[in-house]
Amino acid sequence: QLGRSLLDLSSFLPALSRPANHSRIFHAVMFDAGSTGTRIHVYTFIQGDSEPLPVLDNEMFHSVKPGLSAYADAPEVAGHTVRMLLKVAKKTVPRVDWKRTPLVLRATAGLRLLPAERAQALLDQIQLVFDESPFFVPDDGVSIMNGTDEGILAWVSLNFLTGHLKAQSKKTVGILDLGGGSTQITFLPTVRKTIEDAPAADFVARLDFLNTTFELYSHSYLGSGIMAARLSTLGALTTDESEWRVFRSSCLPGKFRDEWSFGGLVYRVSGEPGGPEGYKPCYQEVLKAVKGIIHQPYQLESGGVFYAFSYYYDRAVDAGLIDGLTGGTVQVRDFRKRAKEVCSDMTKNPPASPFLCMDLTYITCLLKDGFGFKDSAALQLTKKVNNVEASWALGAALDRFHELKIH
């Protein structure tokens, strides 16, 4: 399988991009249409003759906010967003290579949460923009990715970037991805019971890659991303009263009152004036978004560490737990301690964002009561590895050339 796809690839690439040593340069353009933003990744790979995996030479990355679902009522604007981002691809990929450079867009939780016909209208618009571009658009170029693939491909990305996919590497790393709409956990269990104990559907996936089959524990929880969790905490996830109601929470500063939007809807939110405020009542509120929803793996062990990115990273930066440029290791208890501090006197000591108490409490609750991490569990908070974004997008690009089989 692998041999064939490499062969296909080499016959696909003209002599022009073959330097003297016969390594081949190729590009892939991957769009990540997330619930809170749209991002373009332009990868440049170098494929050596004797190595099964290419080397990632460079990534160009650009992102815009909000996500495409904010344009559900105006799909042409979504198309325009993508057209603007495509300029990055045109600047990065040499003109002679445009025609054979694949252009792919995968949408995640934002579009999964929209009614199917509204999501399709957005995808149709993007398909039009892709079709008029000078790049190579594969048949399945524009689609909503399923949650399992999202988790697995992020696992492939992080293990590729950290050098754990090489044949001699016995260890792998687990991943924790916290998006706006969904959250993913994926790791290679070392104990058989973790696979046996997992719920029957959608928690175990097999990945065939480089002559190895990895049996992974992996799940994507739709509606458990940080923004969707804000909605459940506020009691605003399943209501049609969102137009006029004010949603209150003890996780927000007592006197705070504002409008907040997610997925194209606007919500009026406020603290509990004169009511309970702080970590304890807040924890009880966010627990509603976790209890009975998140499955605890039998053993949270991947033989290595867990890499945590996306909103885990952003909120750790906001909380002052890590440096925004370098990231670092944080224990679950650090999130809890900071959540307590931020929530304790929001009125006297207002946090930079009114949602910081809620978000940090949710992250603590998700890690502890949700996945069952110990207080002492250490997470490797990462935004980039060797200057490349920690995201499923790289795994999705590798998938195009190596036909990773996920089943």
Ligand X SMILES: Nc1ccn([C@@H]2O[C@H](COP(=O)(O)OP(=O)(O)O)[C@@H](O)[C@H]2O)c(=O)n1
Q: Which backbone phi and psi does 332 adopt, to 5 degrees?
A: -55, -35
**Residue 401: exposure state from Cβ atoms within 10 A (0-12, 13-18, ≥19):** buried
In angstroms, give the least distance from the CB of 384 to ligand X: 9
Phi, psi of 406 (to 5 degrees): -105, 125
Instruction: Determine whether the annotation assigns residue 181 to a binding site.
Output: yes
Cβ nearer to ligand X, comparing 38 with 249: 38
Catalytic status, residue 150: yes
Residue 224 is a binding residue for ligand X (CB under 6 A): no
Measured CA to CA, the distance from residue 2 to residue 12 in angstroms comes to: 15
Q: Is 197 left (phi over 0), alpha (psi -120 to 50) or beta?
A: alpha
Nearer to ligand X, 67 or 254 (CB): 67
The answer to whether residue 59 forms part of the interface with ligand X (CB under 6 A) is: no
Q: Select from 107-115, 195-203, 340-348, 370-378 the region that touches ligand X (CB under 6 A).
A: 107-115
Q: Which of 36, 172, 233, 302 binds ligand X (CB under 6 A)?
A: 36
Q: Is 223 in the site for ligand X (CB under 6 A)?
A: no
Contacts with ligand X, 383-402, as mask; x by CB under 6 A: x-----x-x-----------
Tell the smallest beta-carbon distance from residue 168 to ligand X (Å): 29
CA distance 211 to 193: 24
Cβ neighbours around 293 below 10 Å, total: 14
**Cβ of residue 402: shortest distance to ligand X, in angstroms?**
21
**Alpha carbon separation from 278 to 177, 181, 259 (Å, rounded):** 26, 25, 21
Kindly identify the residues of this chain, within the stretch 332-391, that bind ligand X according to CB under 6 A: 383, 389, 391
Find the catalytic residue in 150, 277, 285, 389.
150
- Within 246-388, where are the H helices? 279-287, 311-318, 332-344, 356-365
> Between residues 44 and 182, which has the closer beta carbon with respect to ligand X?
182
Q: Closer to ligand X by CB, 236 or 396: give it.
A: 396
**Shortest distance, CB of residue 314 to ligand X, whole angstroms?**
4
Residue 180 interacting with ligand X (CB under 6 A): yes
- Residue 176 neighbours by CB under 8 Å, 6+ apart: 183, 184, 185, 306, 307, 308, 309, 312, 371, 379
- Beta bridge partners, 30, equal 41, 104
Q: Could you give the residue ranges of the DSSP H alpha helices within 17-92? A: 75-92
Give the binding site for ligand X (CB under 6 A): 32, 34-37, 39, 67, 108-110, 179-182, 225, 310-311, 314, 383, 389, 391
Q: Where is the binding site for ATP, in residues?
A: 180-184
